[in-house]
Structure 1
């Protein structure tokens, strides 16, 4: 077999390439995988083909070349001298083809998918999951921006938003639920030790409270007390409430013992599981509607959007 030199064609070279001399590409793929793995079975598994299919590809390639590429010794195979030499050429050629393909694909720049969400949602829910998304969908670039609790979908600077359900969604926007929301109080174990044993919900009103400044009534201590007490007059009306602008801040303040925070359970689960936070009352849960995805209806068939939405739905 003759050696192949580095005689690259010029960009403007229009000389004809006789493609009839080229073996089928699938046979080259089957040969490369078999030679590299030293196993027809291994090549079949890697290429998602059957054992007979790989064997047929190798036989086709050997017939095309007029030489044996493998020696079969029982259940084992090994490359012939011709096979070893040909393998080096095939591997180099396929590597060049793969590199050229990746270069062309990367040169076709797709705009980033612009995702908007609350600060806490980004920090405590979305960000920890994004490495998995990048691993499975490396071609989709994400650009994440954040804002405070009140919803304000900036359509000029975002394609999609992860938000708490809002009333009266504009007709040109679509809504896809992700998970149900619940709100309940949490505090540090040290703060819990200052409370009565097995406290009643209304007894929490006598202690420092922390809440997120929001128009959402479900995160409002007054409404929460009214919703869980049989007699709304039982709790202290002179509430000592410290308002913060993000749920992340409320959680951190509860962790360091500044008071009892009214929080969304989805974003507190890891701190509860680790023991950094505890739930002080047994009757604590109030359903607070849905969290989901909002996006412009014009993007309903955008593959980036549909892929990202489907991935988000798989996270719960």
Structure 2
């Protein structure tokens, strides 16, 4: 046999999943088998190699250094086999794509454009999930994610840049007119979001403009500050992407325009667009529709 040192191949999937999750239970859940089935395959692999692959301490499972190295090689090999199989296969991937998107961008920008997506890319069905922060495709059960690059992206993800983040103060149009001659934002209540507490500090740092108000108010979520601004409660810092529609409708005004804050939004996918026509078509649609956000207004 050419590959005389190969262990039983049916042990490799459960082994790689167990190392990745550091849990046989999680591996069994991912592979849709029982915990006992995973445990038996790990034992078979250890017998074939003549070496223990896990340290079992206080009910926790710790892969050895050798196990982590072997799992990394197995993962690379499986990725290559998967990619080659997709190239050979004549079956087009089917079913919906699950897309995770940061909640405010999802509500304010993406959901209103779903009718356009359905009309422009009729062969793609998308299930939407509100989520932010670090991405785990396996844990979250998602195919794609739209995220701002203020944290590291997973090494295995394929990233496509969509647009730059531009931020600026927004408020009700009648309040914007009053602020122009009344000391700027210092004459209004500044609205802060608990989920993005440094937004005003970032704007001050970028613009060099003062923003020390007589009153401030903190709301739990970013979306709530936009609702409060539209109601005339005060002035909120907002990304251009999430308020673009409200600006065009006249629901909000941006008296000081928008400035780039150095971050950007990216579409992260589990697999490269070239391996899945649905991902390719959705990526193309997103890039076209986000082009106006990339060229959004700066200061007025």
Shorter-chain TM range is 0.5 to 0.7
Helix, strand or coil for the counterpart of 1:314? helix
Inter-partner Cα distance in structure 1 for 2:125 and 2:102: 19
Question: Contact between 1:210 and 1:244, CA under 8 Å: does it hold in 2?
Answer: no
Runs of 4 or more, structure 1, over 4 Å off, are none
Q: How does 1:289-304 map to 2 (within 5 A)?
A: 289-297=263-271, 301-304=275-278
Which residue of structure 2 aligns with residue 141 of structure 1? Answer: 125
Inter-partner Cα distance in structure 2 for 1:287 and 1:109: 38
Inter-partner Cα distance in structure 2 for 1:216 and 1:292: 22
Unaligned runs of 5+ in 1: 1-107
Q: CA deviation at 1:185?
A: 0.1
Question: Contact between 2:176 and 2:255, CA under 8 Å: does it hold in 1?
Answer: yes
Unaligned runs of 5+ in 2: 1-91, 292-300
Aligned pair 1:228/2:202, yes or no? no
Which residue of structure 2 aligns with residue 252 of structure 1? Answer: 227
Aligned pair 1:124/2:99, yes or no? no
Q: CA deviation at 1:196?
A: 5.4
Inter-partner Cα distance in structure 2 for 1:196 and 1:179: 29
Question: Contact between 2:165 and 2:265, CA under 8 Å: does it hold in 1?
Answer: yes
Q: CA 1:170–1:183 in structure 2 vs 1: closer, same or farther (change >3 Å)?
A: same
Which residue of structure 1 aligns with residue 259 of structure 2? Answer: 285
Q: CA 1:313–1:281 in structure 2 vs 1: closer, same or farther (change >3 Å)?
A: closer
What RMSD, in angstroms, separates the aligned Cα atoms of the two structures?
2.8
Inter-partner Cα distance in structure 1 for 2:252 and 2:150: 29
Q: CA 1:308–1:290 in structure 2 vs 1: closer, same or farther (change >3 Å)?
A: same
**Deviations, residues 59-78 of structure 1 (Å, cap 9, x unaligned):** xxxxxxxxxxxxxxxxxxxx
Q: CA 1:207–1:132 in structure 2 vs 1: closer, same or farther (change >3 Å)?
A: closer
Question: Contact between 1:198 and 1:281, CA under 8 Å: does it hold in 2?
Answer: no
**Deviations, residues 238-276 of structure 1 (Å, cap 9, x unaligned):** 862423313x32221111001100000122122222222
Question: Contact between 1:211 and 1:263, CA under 8 Å: does it hold in 2?
Answer: no
Given the two structures, how large is their TM-score scaled by the length of structure 1?
0.55
Question: Contact between 1:112 and 1:140, CA under 8 Å: does it hold in 2?
Answer: yes
Which residue of structure 1 aligns with residue 188 of structure 2? Answer: 207
Inter-partner Cα distance in structure 1 for 2:247 and 2:100: 27
Q: CA deviation at 1:225?
A: 1.7
Question: Contact between 1:184 and 1:286, CA under 8 Å: does it hold in 2?
Answer: no
Question: Contact between 2:99 and 2:145, CA under 8 Å: does it hold in 1?
Answer: yes
Question: Contact between 1:208 and 1:242, CA under 8 Å: does it hold in 2?
Answer: no
Question: Contact between 1:183 and 1:288, CA under 8 Å: does it hold in 2?
Answer: no
